[in-house]
């Protein structure tokens, strides 16, 4: 399983390595998705929002998606949770105008809280 000589089997070799690592290490650590949640940080979210605006204006979809994933890792107060869900939807739909409006609302909400 470790050494496979032909080019045809090299793909399976890398797949074997992936599953070994996944099954032996990652699953044995017992990592859960919700353990990736971070405590709410207004300054971090504001930084992400600035980067998100730039990514959307540049139509850098991959970066915008990654920023949304990063934002969603934070525990959000109730008043911001719905807005972040709407923001994710606007980014997914590539609605730049809606994204800008929601970002503006999020910034205003974070200033008041």
Q: Are residues 52 and 1 in the same domain?
A: no
Q: Are residues 1 and 14 in the same domain?
A: yes
pLDDT at 58 over 50: yes
pLDDT value for 28:
45
83-97 in b/e form (b: 16+ CB < 10 A) is: bbebbbebbeeeeee
pTM of the predicted protein model? 0.65
Q: Are residues 64 and 101 in the same domain?
A: yes
pLDDT category, 17, cuts 50, 70, 90? low
Closest-CA residue to 70 (of 95, 37, 104): 37
Q: Are residues 22 and 40 in the same domain?
A: no
Q: Are residues 5 and 24 in the same domain?
A: yes
Residues 62-75 have pLDDT tens digits of 999 999 999 999 99
Counted domains in the chain: 2
Q: Are residues 50 and 104 in the same domain?
A: yes
Range of the domain at 104: 36-112
Closest-CA residue to 110 (of 82, 86, 80, 87): 80
């Amino acid at each position: 399983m470790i050494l496979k000589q032909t080019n045809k089997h090299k793909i399976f070799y890398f797949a074997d390595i992936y599953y070994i690592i996944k099954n032996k290490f990652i699953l044995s650590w017992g990592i859960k998705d919700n353990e990736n949640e971070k405590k709410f940080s207004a300054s971090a979210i504001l930084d992400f929002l600035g980067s998100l605006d730039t990514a959307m204006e540049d139509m850098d979809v991959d970066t915008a998606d990654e920023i949304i994933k990063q934002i969603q890792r934070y525990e959000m107060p109730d008043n911001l949770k719905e807005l972040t869900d709407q923001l994710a939807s606007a980014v997914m739909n590539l609605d730049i105008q809606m994204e800008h409006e929601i970002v503006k609302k999020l910034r205003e909400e974070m200033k008041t809280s």
